[in-house]
Structure 1
């Protein structure tokens, strides 16, 4: 595998490559025929296989379909070499390059959710492993999704916080456990960065928001459902730049513990 993450024209671009010991025509069928897609793609696919043809996606979990934009259009169609379509606002581009012993599969995924990029990468790795098995290959077993996710968080630098001009700091971090589990950690009195004295509790809405005072401002945690687990957001107002590393270390310790627990359970 070869994975890169860049920002182009204001959007996040994930590129992945997989060498396959299968001819392009065989892989093309797996990319375009619904019965073949059922064996490896993350959603059921219905499509009118032509340029500008409609395409739609349905997840097995009905709740995952609620409020989701699961429709698209085929934007490029050059069998058996190129297929590109949008899935809601995301663009997926599949390219097949013939090689001496099969083909090179190239996936380009363009999206706007940069903090979710590690989840997307880990998920597509699992899907491409399944694709290889469907085609008759023997993919090497991978690490658990949660551990793959944490690897790519580090590889892409998605664990870093930012400092605003006014001195406030922010973190946005995809996690691998549900928000109810994360909430338990956030509400532990010991879960606070070194040097921070937690003060008056201003808001506690389980399991989505926790706000309390600190010496020179407020600390606010937000949780929502993300891809593969909870999406965590931290905002600390006030002159808080010196707390960037302490919060980073605390959040990463939590993320590692959650990933290890998730992997052990799964």
Structure 2
């Protein structure tokens, strides 16, 4: 069987990431590697304790944690074919199908944070490469996606860079949500070019977009928020919150009156955010 490309689907507020990999080992050997804590510790993103039965408790611990930082429950344990469990609010389902002398391993990760999908996919990509190394008897030595190239490739593949436009009670709004690949302080420094913005002062160029007027800064809280008026009835807001991966989650909104050109704003801001993401990846 030929593994299918990684896919992302969203329905009813939940998103499912599906990844398939051909593993050159029989199902039982793959099963052991994805269920036995000693083997999981070699390639999985956390240490795991597991009661390997439906309803069994799972614990997920990270270096330095004396107790599991998160818990879950086994939902399926059909040896050597299906292992599934919850991890916080997420659900992970591993399916192993015999494929000649090897196996087809399928992961379906279901979660609520659609814009975290590129972080999850790049992380699992690295982990599953490590799993293959372990099964091949090699040293598990997989470089993390520290530069963000894999993350950004998944952003493009899953079409996560596109913004939305909607009607509000007061007019129209354009909104972008984007996971970034550098710490918030690095992102802020890139946008301000070293000149700290203050209320009432001109907006640093990094926070502006082509054909979007920029009034003075109306609110600033480094490195979490910058806002300015672009129209008597409209505002631009850059907000940086908790993210997945190595950086903050950017939420950028532009609000305006009912004749606000949202199509033009969508194009301008997507170009601006893509340029920022490219510079962060290269830094």
TM-score normalised according to structure 1 size: 0.90
Choose which of 36, 47, 59 in structure 2 pairs with 1:44: 47
2:46 counterpart of 1:31: no
Superposition map of 1:201-240 within 5 A: 201-216=217-232, 217-228=234-245, 229-238=247-256, 239-240=260-261
2:148 counterpart of 1:130: no
1:253 CA displacement: 0.8
Provide the secondary structure at the position in 1 that maps to 2:15: strand
Aligned CA RMSD, in angstroms, stands at 2.0
Preserved CA contact (<8 Å) 1:147 1:260: no
Provide the secondary structure at the position in 1 that maps to 2:126: helix
2:216 counterpart of 1:200: yes
Counting matched residue pairs gives 256
Structure 1 match to 2:266:
244
Superposition map of 1:143-162 within 5 A: 144=145, 146-162=148-164
Preserved CA contact (<8 Å) 2:126 2:142: no
2:75 counterpart of 1:75: yes
Preserved CA contact (<8 Å) 2:130 2:141: no
Structure 2 match to 1:264:
none
Choose which of 170, 174, 183 in structure 1 pairs with 2:179: 174
2:75 counterpart of 1:60: no
Structure 1 match to 2:94:
94
Provide the secondary structure at the position in 2 that maps to 1:226: coil
Between the aligned partners of 2:64 and 2:158, the Cα distance in structure 1 is 29
| Structure 1 spans left out of the alignment, 5+ residues | 262-266
- 1:55-112 Cα distance to aligned partner (Å, 9 max, x none): 01012265xx8xx6x1111011101100110001100000000011210000000001
Structure 2 match to 1:13:
16
2:278 counterpart of 1:256: yes
Between the aligned partners of 1:14 and 1:258, the Cα distance in structure 2 is 25
Between the aligned partners of 2:91 and 2:106, the Cα distance in structure 1 is 14
